[in-house]
Structure 1
């Protein structure tokens, strides 16, 4: 530990964000860089707590507590404090293949479990992780590393999201020839099309990592939809093993009157179309995807320009929809949230080291508040039906307030509060209510067993499906979860796949 009194001497600081009024005019990332001296001061706050909970990666009450990839956080905090950035990067890469991704998009359950957070603001772990990764790129320390020898074994990874990329990176490191099959036109999965550019830059962050992986020998094949234009059973003949990392892409629907109207879309369809249009434009005019070229209403099939937008759902995907609609120039924006507004501080039934369920304004809500004057979220609200105009398009959303009460079985259920109906004008409605599990076509063709929730049946730690030589990792196995859990599972599936192929494994 570098500075025993650091947590007493220094207050928690975060990088300064670009002003909401400025950043909604482009698609560039939101944060300014923090000077090295201040970063080292933040690392000095790591307090040699004796029993650190930041890297435990446990599930408590259904939420992550501590880092799911078990990052050696106190160690690289100490190295950053000492100015040993290269050593900090090496320590970070021991457990996490993609700290440049998680340092941007992870909600930082590590900080929720930080021991310092019991009595003071926690260590800025996520900021330091991102800074270490960026220092690695700036200094040229992150370079392609070919495996020392090839095993002669071939592995197909289906899906190029965070689980698929982590599995591919680890299997390639073990010497296997890895082919990643992606059904979209660009690799990256959720990282490419499910997270907007201002939150995770595609050219400067995602594609640079993919290029390194390609130079390491990993082959990416796009527009390869296994189960449709690629026969699943042929993969079993052509490859020695398969790792399924397709994610949980089956969205939760809202079966109310008017659902079929034009202008009512799933959130992921909207986010994918927006990012695809942005990247296509930047290719055409030779600019970065984050520049202020924008994507106007003629560029994307689903667009928010000059529309009253309703986002239904309060999670990360809903926030990303809010921020995207703000950049596309929506007329108004309301976010419907069925849960109650969280408290400002931890409640008595939400103790440390659980993930703190407290009220916060994420980047999208900050931007909407800056333009429209208030947090756009309407809590304890549900949708009754959608109203149509004369053309069969949505024109309004009718909502009602609800109250959560326990039924005879003791379960909390939403009860409508009479007389609280409200009508919102709407020409674009985005359903961001989570995901139900993986799509079935591929799984049916491979004939793997599913669990009671419709996910691939594969025990955590073994990741082996009911079919020999086929493994599963990420959201298709565990259900909708965090990017960092997907990386954890991709690494774990690679380890067990390597053991299956070689009889033993040295992968962590």
Structure 2
């Protein structure tokens, strides 16, 4: 700890965002960099606590506490404070394969469990992490590191999201020959097609993939295992297979009128938008446009926010977001103590943009969708909702009930369902012969990652269900270690 009074001398500094009026005109990065002086001050605010909860990476009451990849946060905070950026990068890469991804797309549970979060002023850990890796690339410190020797073992990694890329990177560094198979036309999984480009630029993803190629990893796109190519085909050609196929089966909303045109799953909307953007700058019109439409987004998470930001850039006429949960408090409740992730009211980038244009936060809290209303041509034209309230049930539990007389009709020519994912695509797993558990995820024990098929492992959302990018990276790393032990024992 370089400055014992740092947390008193300096205030928290957030990553500055570009003004909504400017950023809504493009798909470029939302954020601007903090100056080096501010970053070093943020590093000085870290107290190198006796128990650094920021790097614990556990779970309390089902919520992530600290960093799941166990980043050595106090160490590289102090190194940044001292101006030792290259050493900070070395510490960062010890635990995290892709800090340029987490520094942009992770919600930063490390900050929620920072001791300074006790008074709502955590160290700006995520901003420091991003600055370290970005400087590493700028200075030329991040270079290919091909392994010195090869084992002669061949591994197929199915899926190129953060879990698959982390797994491939670790196995390659262990000396195995790794091939990554991706069903889409670009590498990156949800990093490429699930997260809009203003949150994580494609150049950032392509830069890392180029590095992995130079280190010896082979990538094959437009190759769908379990559909066009049986899993047995890979098992015959490789010594081991690791499935990192994600949890991409969307949750549906089976209410009256669901069959109407103009109702889409959020990921279909986001995927088509990004593909058209990358292919042609939207000139091919091969995307679901929100231009001139009243858009209604159903869901309260990050994906819903991404839909809002995307629809705003299309030029929607209005935007409304339904959240089934009540509006959260502005401060922690008694049943949400530190170091849990703070369940408090926040405005994310999409809500900020909508409010800047339309004057109000687009969210409607404690709202339940009851019916989709159609026009004479079979297209959605509106949504009927009802308000909810939470009451105490007969057993003492809290239950939701509809508020009588609260029905409301909302105009909507485009409805986006962003209510999460139910797990991996079941038909694909059935064709593979992979056993699933009660949560419809791949049945592979945490820490072991082995499936019911010999030599086949699983990691990431496909194994644990929809989760954070940091969990995907951790599982990819650990599955690679399990796969490596298997190969070396043969």
Please classify the TM superposition score into its range, dividing by the shorter chain length: over 0.9
Is the 1:232–1:442 Cα contact (8 Å) retained in structure 2?
no
Please name the residue that 2:273 is paired with: 274
| Distance of aligned partners of 1:36 and 1:380 in 2 relative to their CA distance in 1, 3 Å threshold | same
Shift of 1:410: 5.0
Shift of 1:406: 4.4
Which runs of no fewer than 5 residues in structure 1 stay unpaired? 283-294
Mapped partners of 2:398, 2:268: distance in 1: 31
Q: Deviations over 1:408-451 (max 9, x none)?
A: 45554331111001111111000000000000233223312111
Shift of 1:117: 1.4
TM-score for both structures, normalised by structure 2 = 0.98
Is the 2:57–2:70 Cα contact (8 Å) retained in structure 1?
yes
* Residue of structure 1 aligned with 2:416, choices 430, 444, 449: 430
Matched, 1:446 2:432: yes
Q: Deviations over 1:28-68 (max 9, x none)?
A: 00111111111101100001221110000011111111001
Q: Deviations over 1:259-309 (max 9, x none)?
A: 111100000000000000000014xxxxxxxxxxxx36x623311000000
Other structure's SS at 1:310 match? strand
TM-score for both structures, normalised by structure 1 = 0.95
Mapped partners of 1:484, 1:409: distance in 2: 37
Which runs of no fewer than 5 residues in structure 2 stay unpaired? none
Is the 1:233–1:445 Cα contact (8 Å) retained in structure 2?
no
Matches within 5 A, 1:16-165: 16-165=16-165
Mapped partners of 2:328, 2:119: distance in 1: 20
Matches within 5 A, 1:67-466: 67-203=67-203, 205-282=204-281, 295=282, 299-408=285-394, 411-466=397-452
Mapped partners of 2:435, 2:376: distance in 1: 47
Shift of 1:90: 0.5
Mapped partners of 2:76, 2:448: distance in 1: 29
Mapped partners of 1:406, 1:99: distance in 2: 44
Is the 1:4–1:48 Cα contact (8 Å) retained in structure 2?
no
Shift of 1:22: 1.1
Is the 2:230–2:432 Cα contact (8 Å) retained in structure 1?
no
Mapped partners of 2:167, 2:387: distance in 1: 45
| Distance of aligned partners of 1:464 and 1:411 in 2 relative to their CA distance in 1, 3 Å threshold | farther
Q: Deviations over 1:51-104 (max 9, x none)?
A: 110000011111111001000000000110111101100100000000000000
* Dislocated runs of 4+, deviation >6 Å: none
Mapped partners of 1:486, 1:453: distance in 2: 18
Question: Cα RMSD over matched residues?
Answer: 1.2
Mapped partners of 1:336, 1:143: distance in 2: 45
Other structure's SS at 1:486 match? helix
Mapped partners of 2:80, 2:470: distance in 1: 22
Shift of 1:119: 2.7
